[in-house]
Structures are given as structure tokens and as C-alpha cells.
């Protein structure tokens, strides 16, 4: 009698947890990282604005003074802090979910085979939970434990859907739940769902392979842009500054025949820096969307491009100093 009472309490507890999990709103780790990154990034952007206005003088490259360059440094750091934690965490989560979904058709086939021996859907899931399905194994064992304690199969499937909230899992759970409620041969339905799920995964894999070429082109184009800027800053623009200074101090320039506005070269280089930032963020997000259709994956690419581009532009590309004419 005591055992029956304990089991009933256990079932009620599991059912209560199922209801509570459906009603409560939880903040995921990725959301926390996004909020924290936004707060720290906002602080760095404020420092960037104060540097640009001359109120503060915090430099990452000594000897530059206040102005646009230190402001851009903290602008980039703010973007990196904002994008990197959320992008890396979401990419890791998506890879984990992808590995879980990868073994879902195998699990559905095993449940269908158990169902053909006359087992009910809950019993078939419990029997199939003894198999090995990679990262999916833990989720299946949780669902099987809930079924063994008397949780309804619809509730157990819904909890599984909440733990793995992807469109593919939601569609599979919806079909299985309706087929079980309608009665009939659930095994045939599971077999068709397993086949359809595998076909969907193969199509997604083929799409990613074809899109990988475009992602590679985006990376190559970005680094070619950086190399072009380095060549201009190391070879062409210094010669332009030297020629402009020579013309300004010559008698030809005094007569007003020839002038060369070399003083705009630092502004041109500043425009290059802004272009690198825009290209890194935009191209990175586009690469992620092309590869798997998710902006979160793009934030990881944008972080890589922005970090590499900023380091090259600020610490490898030579500084262009425009001195006074004739100096």
C-alpha cells in the first residue's frame, strides 16, 4: 500500500513538473550571455564616444591621442563583446541539437519495430530507450523514465519537445501524438516519419555543402580586401604623402599650377577602417545565414572577421602620419 501511494505521488510530481515547465518562462544561458554582452558592449561604446569627444583619453595604441582611432577601437571591442559570447554559445547549442536530431530517425525506426510486435507506444519507447543514439540517448532515457512512472505519453513527448525545441522535433512529436490519439497502426506512421526525417536531414546536409562554397568566397573576398588595404597603406599612400609634401614646398605649388590634397589621406584610411568593420559584421552574418539559415551562426563568423580585421588594421598596417608641408 505504501509503495502504491509513493508511486502515485511520484506520478503526480512528474505531471506537476510537466505543467509547471509549460507555464513557467525560463531564461536560457544564451539569453543571459546576450544581455550581459549588451551591457558590457554599451559601456565600451560610451567610452568610445567619450574618446571621440576628447573627454577621455584611453588608447590601445600609444601616441595617437584622442580622436576617431581610439573611439573605433572601443567600438570594435564593444561589438566583439556583444557578438562573441552569444554567437559561440548559440553555435554550440545548435551543433548539439543537430547531433541529437541526427539520430532521431534511428530511434523512430526502433520504436516502430517494437510496435509491430504488439507493444503500445509507451512500451515501445521504453524498450527502444535501451539502444544507443549518441547525444539523443539521455533525452530518450528521461522520456522512458517518465513513462515508467505513469506519465502520459503525450506529456512525455511534449517535455521532450521542450528540451529539444527545434522545428523538426516539434513536427515529429506533433505527428506521433496525433497518430497515437487517433489509434490504428502507429508503427507504419513512425516508419514514414523516420523516412521523412532522414530525407529532410539529407537535404539540409546537401544544402550546407553547396553553401560552403559561398561562405569560402566571402572569407576570401574579405581577406583580399584587407591585403589590398595593407598594400595601399604600406606602399601607395606613403608615396602620395611624400609627393604631396614635395609639391607643396616647391615653387610650382606656390604659383598655383599644381596642388595635391595629401592631407586627406588619414581620413581616407579612417574610411577604410569603417569599411572593414561594416564588411566584417555584414559578411559574417551573411555567411551564417547562407550556411544554415541562422543569424546566430553568422555572429560567430562576424566575430572572427571583425577580430582579425581590427588586429590587422590597428597593429599590422602602418600608421600614416601627415606632417607639415615641407617638413
pLDDT in the model for residue 62? 66
**Same-domain pairing of 209 and 177:** no
| In-domain check, residue 160 | yes
Which residues have CB under 8 Å from 101's CB, separation 6+? 164, 166, 168, 169, 197, 201
**Same-domain pairing of 231 and 264:** yes
Q: Who has greater pLDDT, 23 or 146? A: 146
| In-domain check, residue 8 | no
pLDDT averaged over every residue in the chain: 80
pLDDT in the model for residue 75? 92
Q: What is the pLDDT of residues 42-65, one digit of tens each?
A: 999 999 998 888 787 777 766 565
**Same-domain pairing of 264 and 306:** yes
**Same-domain pairing of 239 and 157:** no
**Same-domain pairing of 309 and 208:** yes
Q: What is the pLDDT of residues 128-174, one digit of tens each?
A: 888 888 888 888 899 889 888 888 888 988 888 888 777 788 888 88
| In-domain check, residue 80 | yes
| In-domain check, residue 11 | no
Sign of CA dihedral 160, 162, 165, 167: positive
Looking from the CA of 245 toward its CB, the CA atoms found within 13 Å total 14
**Same-domain pairing of 231 and 140:** no
**Same-domain pairing of 238 and 290:** yes
**Same-domain pairing of 39 and 93:** yes
Distance from C-alpha of 62 to C-alpha of 9, rounded to nearest angstrom? 68
| In-domain check, residue 163 | yes
**Same-domain pairing of 113 and 170:** yes
Expressed as residue numbers, the domain containing 269 is 204-316
Confidence of residue 286 (pLDDT cuts 50, 70, 90): very high
Confidence of residue 24 (pLDDT cuts 50, 70, 90): very low
Question: Percent of the chain beyond pLDDT 90?
Answer: 23
pLDDT in the model for residue 99? 85
Number of domains in the chain: 3
Q: Who has greater pLDDT, 176 or 302? A: 302
Mean pLDDT of 223-247: 79
The yes-or-no verdict on residue 18 having pLDDT over 50 is no
pLDDT in the model for residue 237? 75
**Same-domain pairing of 81 and 49:** yes
Which residues have CB under 8 Å from 321's CB, separation 6+? none
Q: Who has greater pLDDT, 121 or 66? A: 121
| In-domain check, residue 1 | no
**Same-domain pairing of 281 and 249:** yes
Among the three residues 57, 72, 100, which one is the final residue of a domain in this structure? Answer: 100
Among the three residues 100, 118, 141, which one is the final residue of a domain in this structure? Answer: 100
Instruction: Tell me how crowded residue 275 is: count the other CB atoms within 10 A of its CB.
Output: 14
Among the three residues 67, 100, 133, which one is the final residue of a domain in this structure? Answer: 100
| In-domain check, residue 6 | no
**Same-domain pairing of 223 and 299:** yes
Q: What is the pLDDT of residues 249-279, one digit of tens each?
A: 654 545 454 454 556 667 777 888 899 999 9
Q: What pTM was estimated for this model as a whole?
A: 0.75
Q: What is the pLDDT of residues 64-99, one digit of tens each?
A: 655 677 888 899 999 999 999 999 998 888 888 888
Which residues have CB under 8 Å from 92's CB, separation 6+? none
| In-domain check, residue 199 | no
Amino acid at each position: 500500500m505504501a509503495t502504491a501511494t509513493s508511486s502515485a505521488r511520484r506520478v503526480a510530481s512528474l505531471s506537476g513538473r510537466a505543467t509547471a515547465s509549460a507555464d513557467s518562462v525560463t531564461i536560457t544561458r544564451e539569453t543571459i550571455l546576450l544581455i550581459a554582452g549588451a551591457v558590457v558592449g554599451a559601456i565600451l561604446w560610451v567610452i568610445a564616444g567619450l574618446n571621440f569627444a576628447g573627454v577621455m583619453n584611453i588608447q590601445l595604441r600609444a601616441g595617437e591621442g584622442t580622436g576617431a582611432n581610439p573611439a573605433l577601437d572601443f567600438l570594435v571591442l564593444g561589438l566583439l563583446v556583444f557578438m562573441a559570447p552569444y554567437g559561440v554559445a548559440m553555435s554550440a547549442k545548435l551543433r548539439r541539437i543537430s547531433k541529437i536530431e541526427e539520430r532521431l530517425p534511428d530511434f523512430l525506426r526502433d520504436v516502430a519495430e517494437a510496435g509491430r510486435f504488439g507493444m503500445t507506444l509507451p512500451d515501445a519507447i521504453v524498450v527502444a530507450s535501451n539502444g544507443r543514439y549518441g547525444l539523443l540517448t539521455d533525452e530518450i532515457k528521461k522520456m522512458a523514465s517518465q513513462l515508467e512512472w505513469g506519465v502520459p505519453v503525450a506529456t512525455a513527448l511534449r517535455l521532450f519537445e521542450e528540451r529539444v525545441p527545434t522545428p523538426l522535433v516539434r513536427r515529429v512529436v506533433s505527428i506521433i501524438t496525433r497518430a497515437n490519439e487517433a489509434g490504428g497502426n502507429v508503427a507504419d506512421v513512425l516508419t514514414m516519419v523516420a523516412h521523412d526525417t532522414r530525407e529532410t536531414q539529407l537535404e539540409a546536409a546537401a544544402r550546407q555543402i553547396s553553401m560552403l562554397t559561398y561562405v569560402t568566397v566571402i572569407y576570401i573576398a574579405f581577406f583580399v580586401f584587407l591585403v589590398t588595404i595593407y598594400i595601399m597603406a604600406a606602399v601607395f599612400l606613403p608615396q602620395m604623402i611624400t609627393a604631396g609634401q614635395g609639391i607643396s614646398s616647391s615653387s610650382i605649388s606656390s604659383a598655383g599650377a599644381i596642388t595635391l590634397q595629401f592631407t586627406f589621406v588619414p581620413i581616407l584610411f579612417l574610411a577604410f577602417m569603417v569599411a572593414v568593420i561594416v564588411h566584417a559584421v555584414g559578411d559574417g552574418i551573411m555567411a551564417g545565414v547562407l550556411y544554415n539559415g541562422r543569424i546566430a551562426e553568422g555572429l560567430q563568423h562576424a566575430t572572427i572577421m571583425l577580430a582579425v580585421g581590427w588586429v590587422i588594421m590597428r597593429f599590422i598596417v602602418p600608421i600614416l602620419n601627415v606632417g607639415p608641408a615641407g617638413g
